């Protein structure tokens, strides 16, 4: 089984040099929590499902085309009423990974997406982002990453500077794979197939709300930190993880056209004088499950 997936990985990757020694071809994640309200005793159950698929296609020894799809669905109540909303995002992840030389490589992606309640698709549902990430490989055990993520959103333009690290210990038990502030994994192998670690996931994005002709949007600012335990099946090509942690996600509701301009991370360059239409959500514990299809390189 391991040899089969190694052959598939070689066919996908070709002669390209990747610092990390695996690629996640597909990933299914489910989170669930109950978020309170800082102004009253109202609560809402929040269910979040995220599906990612990635296919690298070698073109030349220096160029790999990257093709992927991300689907995310969050269901929650945005206000004090009993109504619940589906916040849905479908995004294409297309671009290239280019080997520049001297152990430098670059990943360049266009990230067009639809993000809304998908009640009536229109121009406000479409946003587009871009990512540029340079990676310097110092050895087979570690590399550093530097880059920027930019995206048009209903509230304006979000700009996220990126810095990252890939590291693997000499005994191969401890691994860090981080692209901060977006995501980070620290994993320690307890046995051949059993592992434990910590995970960080963040996001800043928006969803158009068009149900009942509301002409509103939701700005999501999310930080989820968790501890996990995982087990690998079929020679660790299929990983199952259980996670518990803290969810600090806030879902702000605003009228369309009420914007802030440019935002760096969560800080508005010109300040924020928008009129928020719902109350702020409180942090809460959450649990999650990951199912990962991983190919070794």
Task: Please check whether residue 149 is in contact with residue 126, taking contact to mean a CB–CB distance below 8 angstroms.
Answer: no
Beta bridge partners of 294: 24
| CA neighbours closer than 13 Å in the CB half-sphere of residue 160 | 26
CB atoms within 10 A of CB 18: 19
Is the peptide bond prior to 189 cis by the omega test (within 30 degrees of 0)?
no
C-alpha to C-alpha distance for 98 and 106, rounded to whole angstroms: 5
- The tokens describing 297, both together, are 């390189």
Span between the terminal Cα atoms of the chain, in Å:
14
pLDDT of 6 reads 34
Going along the chain from its start, the domains and CATH numbers come out as 2-296 (2.40.230)
pLDDT of residue 126: 95
CA distances for 101 relative to 62, 66, 98, 147, angstroms: 9, 19, 9, 17
Rounded Cα distance between 93 and 120, Å, is 23
Here the tokens at position 1 are 């089984």
pLDDT at 2: 36
Query: How far is it, in rounded angstroms, from Cα 215 to Cα 164?
Result: 38
Quick one: pLDDT at residue 121? 85
Using DSSP, state whether 9 is helix, strand or coil: helix
* Rounded Cα distance, 134 and 25, in Å: 21
pLDDT tens, position by position, for the chain (297 residues)? 334 333 333 333 333 334 566 688 999 999 999 999 887 878 899 999 999 999 999 999 999 999 999 999 999 998 766 678 899 999 999 999 999 999 999 999 999 999 999 988 888 999 999 999 999 999 989 999 999 999 999 999 999 999 999 999 999 899 999 999 999 999 999 999 999 999 999 999 999 998 877 889 999 999 999 999 999 998 889 999 999 999 999 999 999 999 998 999 888 888 889 999 999 999 999 999 999 998 865
H/E stretch holding 219: strand 216-233
3-class DSSP assignment, residue 82: coil
Residue pair 67/37 in contact by the 8 Å Cβ criterion: no
Q: 141, exposed or middle or buried, with CB in 10 Å at 0-12, 13-18, 19+?
A: middle
Q: Give me the residue label for tokens 């809460």.
A: 284
């Amino acid at each position: 089984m391991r040899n089969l997936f190694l052959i598939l990985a070689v066919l996908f990757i070709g002669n390209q040099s990747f610092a990390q020694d695996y690629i996640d071809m597909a990933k299914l994640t489910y989170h669930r929590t109950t978020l309170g309200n800082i102004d009253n005793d109202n609560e809402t159950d929040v269910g979040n499902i995220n599906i990612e698929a990635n296919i690298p296609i070698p073109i030349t020894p220096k160029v790999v085309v990257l093709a992927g799809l991300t689907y995310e669905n969050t269901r929650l109540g945005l206000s004090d009423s009993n109504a619940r909303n589906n916040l849905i995002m479908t995004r294409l992840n297309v671009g290239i990974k280019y080997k520049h030389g001297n152990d430098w490589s670059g990943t360049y992606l266009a990230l067009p997406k639809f993000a809304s309640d998908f009640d009536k698709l229109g121009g406000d549902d479409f946003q587009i982002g871009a990512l540029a990430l340079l990676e310097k490989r110092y050895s087979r055990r570690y590399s550093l990453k530097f880059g920027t993520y930019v995206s048009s959103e209903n509230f304006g333009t979000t700009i996220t500077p990126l810095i990252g690290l890939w590291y693997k210990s000499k005994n191969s038990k401890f691994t860090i794979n981080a692209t901060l502030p977006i995501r980070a994994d620290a994993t320690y192998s307890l046995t051949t197939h059993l592992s434990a670690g910590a995970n960080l996931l963040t996001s800043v994005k928006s969803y158009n709300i068009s149900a009942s002709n509301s002409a509103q949007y939701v700005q999501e600012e999310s930080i989820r930190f968790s501890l996990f335990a995982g087990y690998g099946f079929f020679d660790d090509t299929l990983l199952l993880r259980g996670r518990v942690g803290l969810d600090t996600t806030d879902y702000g509701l605003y009228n369309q056209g009420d914007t802030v301009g440019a935002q760096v991370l969560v800080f508005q360059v010109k300040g924020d004088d928008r009129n928020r239409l719902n109350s702020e959500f409180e942090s809460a514990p959450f649990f999650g499950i990951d199912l990962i299809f991983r190919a070794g390189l």
